[in-house]
Structure 1
Amino acid sequence: MSVTDFGALTSTQATVWAVKTWQQGRDQSFWFQTKLIGENDNSPVQRITELTPTDGGDKCIMQLVADLIGDGVVGDNDLEGNEESLVNDDFELQIDQLRNAAKSKGRMAQQRVVIKFREQAKGKLAFWLGDKMDELAFLTIAGRSYTLKTDGSTRSNSQLSQLSFAAQVSAPSNDRVMYAGGVAAVGSLTASDKMSWDLVTEACAKGKRSKIRPIRMGGKDYYILVMSTEQFRDLKMDADYRAAVQNGGSRGPKNPMFTGEAAVVDGVFIYEHNKVCNTLGMASGSKWGAGGAIDGAQAQLIGAQALGLATIDKVFWNESDNTDYGNKRGVSVGRMFGVVKPVLKTSEDDTKQDFGTITIYTAAAAQAA
């Protein structure tokens, strides 16, 4: 016997709900909320929305082109035959689908009309979507496996490592790494090797020397530095940083790209975020330092094209067709996307290096209660 479901959504309504869910999730995301994502190569995260035909099928391709380094041709000397080759790589972005769903316990447990359940589910799923994409972006730029959480602990009952782009995650390249205290490995860090203004200054100098292309805004060049909450706490306690903020800090150019930054000092937009990779979830003995007992975090200096993000189609919203005769409602959201940290052969040598980011390892003790 057929029944009329007065709570069912039309296809148009479902599309509206999907858009609203993504907007809400985007607003709660670090990468989207701060407008770091753009569709040009001047963006910290370049978004690719078009598929490119390849031998293996349709995939997203990110074009990376290094700057020209030749001296050119003088006077009337022949330019023909002396052209400079563009050093470029085609970086492939794998695409996969990620979904989640929420289901009502039933009409009696819900004690609300179906639209209330949808509203509640939309909020929860929106937070999940933005939060999970944030987490994957932080893991990717840090070069940490999707089998781990951003606090270093191991996931349980997770399928994230099955994402097609999980295999593209790569550890920080050898010439794009810095350590506080002048050490050469996380195992050599001591508790006093904290984030400092001197280290920020050195990281910016290394970025420029390594030809990490800065973001060009208002005729000026900027880098972005995102660090953990504990690293930013240590930085704010550094006397040199406080002096730099007091004497030279500013809110930066009036551009919607940069909102929510903690400070803008000497051409660096500084952000803090609790999903920056750290060791707070790891067992003592497996953290950093000589005895594996030092907590630390992995800040990232970011220039242009530090990450690539591919998004195909829009967020989709579906309602369960298995509802126990309309008693237990279920809704789901999903998105097809991929995220990758591009690497490119440098102009100085023939080794591949992280294209737009430098990793900065420091001690960062857990905040006392």
Structure 2
Amino acid sequence: MQTDFGALTSSVKKVWAMEIWQAGRDKSFFFANGFIGKNDNDMNSVIQRVTKLTETERGTECVMQLVQDLQGDGVVGDNKLEDNEEQMVNDAQTIRIDQLRHGVRSKGSMSEQATVIRFRATGKEKLSFWLSDKLDELMFLTLSGRSYGLHTNGATRVGSQLPSLSFASDVVAPSTNRVMYAGTATSEGSVTAADKMDWSTVVKANTVAQEKRLRPIREGGKEYYCMVIHPRHRRDLVLDSTYQTILRTAEKPGAKNKLFTGAIAVIDGVVIHAHNKVFNTSGLASGSKWGAGGAIDGAQAMLLGAQAGGIATIGDMGFNESDNTDYGNRPGIAAGRKVGFLKPQFKSTYDDNAREDFGTIAVKTAAAA
């Protein structure tokens, strides 16, 4: 029977590493749907990608530059512009880097023979899915301001090393003026079953984003925000009578930009996407959820503008084989990547210089099963 246990050359390992990374990117929600920038200079994307190190006073760091739009009126006619230029306000954010790895090991040559599988090929596929899954999970938790000690359904992780990542301590809860609730709710504890995702909630979130001057994504001469909602949100939104009525004349998602092709709809300039890793309380026991008595299931949608988040990917994807293989009977392979995640914050002049999330608004609603 043909096997794939032979040693791989270093060049083949590089190819396999890149294939795992590429497959992981293709399966990742944020990469596949155009949320992540194409290069370090792409500041018009929801997630800015940083791939280069920058020399700073503290040494070599991974830096994300937040750049706000100009606010001044300029000068007219022949009035003097010299000494009246507007100072560009930029805020350098450091994304801390750590290594994230995982591996698989064969059960042994007899097991391989019984199941007729090619260990390396199957392992490579599983590792690429794991990579995309973890990248998405970490990004959802980061943007939602939820600890890496939690799953995205609110349940506590057991035996996980994710809370030990160097950038885990940089995860911060949604800032005071970047949180809103559906219906009449004003806190997680006051959410009722009636406070569901609907058309008006999306429109109100868009209004908040504009008033707080979240920088929009510019595409085709227009300005947009994105909102990522939970599948339960999607159900409630689709069943909303106003949504059903207005959607007939609503803007249709565009065909060129990935950000639009995977969208459910575009509502009032908000591009709607749905994903099951949006933070929710379905993994918590009754009494620990939201609402009176902690009995209401809820979910936290995310309205996102440009540079809502940052991801750093430094160096190449790593791929290695285990040295401890039980004399070649139990081969193992591993893949890893140096990455970092950040939800940037800045001093907002529209919130009395309070430190606020730069490009995210948390939208909390009921989300019944």
TM-score bucket (shorter structure) = over 0.9
Is the Cα–Cα contact under 8 Å of residues 143 and 171 in structure 1 kept in the other structure? yes
Segment drifting more, 353-362 vs 66-75: 66-75
Change (3 A) 1:249 1:75: closer
Q: Distance in 2 between matches of 1:247 and 1:78?
A: 48
Is the Cα–Cα contact under 8 Å of residues 36 and 258 in structure 1 kept in the other structure? no
| Structure 2 residue aligned with 1:66 | 68
Is the Cα–Cα contact under 8 Å of residues 97 and 335 in structure 1 kept in the other structure? yes
Is the Cα–Cα contact under 8 Å of residues 7 and 115 in structure 1 kept in the other structure? no
Amino acid at match of 1:273: H
Q: Distance in 2 between matches of 1:257 and 1:230?
A: 21
Is the Cα–Cα contact under 8 Å of residues 255 and 261 in structure 2 kept in the other structure? no
Q: Distance in 1 between matches of 2:285 and 2:315?
A: 41
Work out whether 1:10 is the aligned partner of 2:9: yes
Partner secondary structure for residue 134 of structure 2: helix
Q: Distance in 2 between matches of 1:271 and 1:96?
A: 29
User: Where does 1:310-349 land on structure 2 (aligned, <5 Å)?
Assistant: 310-348=312-350, 349=352
Question: 1:263-300 CA deviation, whole Å, 9 max, x = no partner?
Answer: 22332211110000000001111110011010000000
User: Where does 1:161-240 land on structure 2 (aligned, <5 Å)?
Assistant: 161-240=163-242
Segment drifting more, 189-198 vs 20-29: 20-29
Amino acid at match of 1:174: T
Partner secondary structure for residue 226 of structure 2: strand
What is the RMSD computed on CA atoms of the aligned residues?
1.7
Partner secondary structure for residue 294 of structure 2: coil
Partner secondary structure for residue 224 of structure 1: strand
Partner secondary structure for residue 324 of structure 2: coil
Q: Distance in 1 between matches of 2:9 and 2:157?
A: 37
| Structure 2 residue aligned with 1:363 | 366
Is the Cα–Cα contact under 8 Å of residues 114 and 329 in structure 1 kept in the other structure? no
Is the Cα–Cα contact under 8 Å of residues 50 and 310 in structure 2 kept in the other structure? yes
Work out whether 1:27 is the aligned partner of 2:26: yes
Q: Distance in 2 between matches of 1:327 and 1:70?
A: 69
Question: 1:335-362 CA deviation, whole Å, 9 max, x = no partner?
Answer: 0010100111123221111111111000
Tell me the TM-score normalised to structure 2 length.
Answer: 0.94
Moved over 4 A (4+): 112-115
Question: 1:58-116 CA deviation, whole Å, 9 max, x = no partner?
Answer: 21111112222223334444333333222221111001100000001111112179981
Q: Which runs of 5+ in 1 are unaligned?
A: none
Q: Distance in 2 between matches of 1:13 and 1:113?
A: 25
Is the Cα–Cα contact under 8 Å of residues 193 and 363 in structure 1 kept in the other structure? yes
Which of 119, 137, 143 is residue 117 of structure 1 equivalent to?
119
Q: Distance in 2 between matches of 1:78 and 1:276?
A: 51
Amino acid at match of 1:300: M
Partner secondary structure for residue 43 of structure 2: coil
Change (3 A) 1:120 1:6: closer
Tell me the TM-score normalised to structure 1 length.
Answer: 0.94
Partner secondary structure for residue 223 of structure 1: strand
Q: Distance in 2 between matches of 1:56 and 1:163?
A: 20
Partner secondary structure for residue 261 of structure 2: coil
| Structure 1 residue aligned with 2:270 | 268
Segment drifting more, 19-28 vs 65-74: 65-74
Question: 1:230-254 CA deviation, whole Å, 9 max, x = no partner?
Answer: 1111111101111122122412252
Which of 79, 83, 86 is residue 85 of structure 2 equivalent to?
83
| Matched residue count | 362
Amino acid at match of 2:328: G
- Pairwise CA distance, 1:22: 1.5
Amino acid at match of 2:144: A
Amino acid at match of 2:355: K
| Structure 1 residue aligned with 2:151 | 149
- Pairwise CA distance, 1:118: 0.3
Change (3 A) 1:129 1:91: same
Is the Cα–Cα contact under 8 Å of residues 261 and 269 in structure 1 kept in the other structure? yes
Amino acid at match of 1:32: F
Segment drifting more, 328-337 vs 346-355: 346-355
- Pairwise CA distance, 1:45: 0.5
Question: 1:12-38 CA deviation, whole Å, 9 max, x = no partner?
Answer: 111111111112211211001112111
Partner secondary structure for residue 292 of structure 2: coil
